[in-house]
């Protein structure tokens, strides 16, 4: 895949509010240049972004719409199974079944045509490990053994997903979704920088195609920009200024062929107040923040993808549809302006 072919094209986060997988798949095919399989958290608790990737994790329990790891049991046999699968690259171990991802399995049966790529996503190890707790409500990421298991487990999930998506297209993009990175460095997260890098890098190592990381808030962008990723996806509607604090790191990222997913269309009710013209201005202003620090406007354009600011799973269906359709309209307007 030629990265130049992706300039100003559309992609999106995975989640949608639909409970009909067919309708969700139609929407992504109608609006996105790079279609993504739809996560459907309102369809089932098992489609929650943390539960969705929990199958086979050692000690995991789903009960009364709660997910936790029961560390009071002997986890060694299940940990051994995980490590054997990891060492043997046994992707069957990491199968995501239809009851956990109806949108994925419907997507895999589609004729998607010839898009530049198809996209999938997996919850990142930092966010998964801080959200999923043990029986005493302690995040599993604070247990060194389980933290390592989380990264290896999600690496296998990402690799299995990518293999399945390659049945639709030879070119794939897999995002690691890390909403909790917006709290990195705060009093709420007790993690060292090197630990975060090691955890995310482990998951990335299982991905053969394009690799991306999404964070829907402010974070230490220098950490993510230094990782072995092809795409950094940000909420540019609210946090473009924060990325502009790292001009040298952004320049180095672009120089090695990195792309930036500009989440410039608000994934919320504010989308009803926006217009294409207004979002064109907002996008230009976001690029202008970096251009003012010495980056070339043309380089930023060439490396830009257009997207919603975040997933749409918590929205009303009509709002989510407005978000994706406005994203498509914005991409078209920008390409007409700069082609």
pLDDT over 70 at 79, yes or no: yes
Q: pLDDT band at residue 1, thresholds of 50, 70 and 90? A: low
**Domains of the chain: residue spans and CATH:** 3-338 (3.20.20.210)
Pairwise CA distance, residues 56 & 325, whole Å = 37
With beta carbons less than 8 A apart as the criterion, state whether 73 and 61 touch: no
Any idea what the Cα angle at residue 57 is, between residues 52 and 63, rounded to 5°? 65
Q: Could you give the residue ranges of the DSSP H alpha helices within 76-218?
A: 76-87, 102-107, 125-131, 144-165, 193-204
pLDDT digits (tens, 9 = 90+) for 115-162: 999 999 999 999 999 999 999 999 999 999 999 999 999 999 999 999
Buried b (16+ CB within 10 A) or exposed e, 196-233: beebbebbbebbebbbbbbbbbbbbbebbbebebbbbb
Pairwise CA distance, residues 62 & 93, whole Å = 19
Q: How many whole angstroms from its chain centre is CA 65?
A: 23
Q: Could you give the residue ranges of the DSSP H alpha helices within 137-262?
A: 144-165, 193-204, 221-225, 236-243, 247-255
pLDDT over 90 at 29, yes or no: yes
Nearest partner of 282 among 320, 245, 246, 334, judged by Cα: 334
Q: How many whole angstroms from its chain centre is CA 132?
A: 18
pLDDT digits (tens, 9 = 90+) for 269-284: 999 999 999 999 999 9
With beta carbons less than 8 A apart as the criterion, state whether 5 and 299 touch: no
Average pLDDT in the 188-201 region?
88
Pairwise CA distance, residues 129 & 153, whole Å = 11
What pLDDT, on the 0 to 100 scale, is given for residue 187? 59
Q: pLDDT band at residue 339, thresholds of 50, 70 and 90? A: confident
Q: Which residues pair with 272 in a beta bridge?
A: none
Average pLDDT score over the chain: 95
Residue 324 host element (H or E): helix 317-338
pLDDT digits (tens, 9 = 90+) for 202-227: 999 999 999 999 998 889 999 999 99
Residues ≥6 apart with Cβ < 8 Å to 64: none
Q: At 117, list the tokens.
A: 């790529």
With beta carbons less than 8 A apart as the criterion, state whether 208 and 163 touch: no
**What's the sign of the alpha-carbon dihedral 205, 230, 213, 164?**
negative
Nearest partner of 242 among 267, 268, 215, judged by Cα: 215
């Amino acid at each position: 895949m030629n990265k130049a072919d992706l300039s100003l094209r559309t992609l999106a986060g995975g989640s949608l509010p639909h409970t009909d997988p067919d309708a969700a798949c139609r929407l992504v095919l109608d609006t996105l240049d790079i279609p993504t399989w739809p996560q459907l958290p309102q369809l089932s608790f098992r489609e929650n972004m943390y539960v969705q990737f929990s199958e086979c994790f050692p000690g995991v329990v789903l009960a009364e719409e709660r997910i936790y790891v029961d560390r009071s049991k002997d986890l060694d046999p299940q940990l051994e199974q995980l490590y054997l699968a990891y060492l043997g690259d046994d992707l069957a171990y990491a199968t995501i079944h239809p009851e956990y991802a109806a949108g994925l399995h419907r997507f895999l049966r589609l004729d998607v045509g010839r898009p530049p790529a198809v996209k999938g996503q997996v919850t990142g190890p930092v966010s998964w490990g801080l959200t999923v707790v043990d029986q005493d409500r302690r995040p599993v990421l604070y247990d060194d053994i389980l933290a390592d298991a989380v990264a290896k487990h999600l690496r296998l999930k990402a690799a299995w997903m990518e293999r399945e998506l390659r049945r639709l297209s030879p070119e794939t993009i897999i995002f690691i979704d890390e909403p909790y990175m917006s709290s990195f460095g705060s009093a709420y997260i007790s993690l060292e920088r090197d630990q975060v890098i090691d955890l995310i890098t482990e998951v990335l190592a299982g991905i053969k195609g394009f690799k991306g990381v999404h964070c829907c808030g402010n974070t230490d962008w220098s950490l993510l920009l230094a990782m072995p990723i092809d795409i950094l996806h940000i909420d540019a509607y609210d946090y473009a200024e924060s990325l502009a604090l790292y001009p040298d790191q952004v320049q180095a990222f672009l120089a090695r062929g990195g792309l930036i997913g500009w989440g410039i269309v608000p994934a919320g009710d504010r989308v009803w107040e926006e217009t294409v013209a207004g979002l064109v201005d907002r996008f230009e202003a976001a690029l202008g923040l970096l251009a003012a620090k010495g980056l070339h406007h043309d380089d930023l354009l060439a490396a830009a993808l257009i997207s919603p600011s975040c997933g749409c799973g918590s929205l009303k269906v009509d709002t989510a549809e407005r978000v994706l359709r406005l994203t498509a309209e914005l991409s078209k307007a920008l390409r007409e302006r700069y082609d």
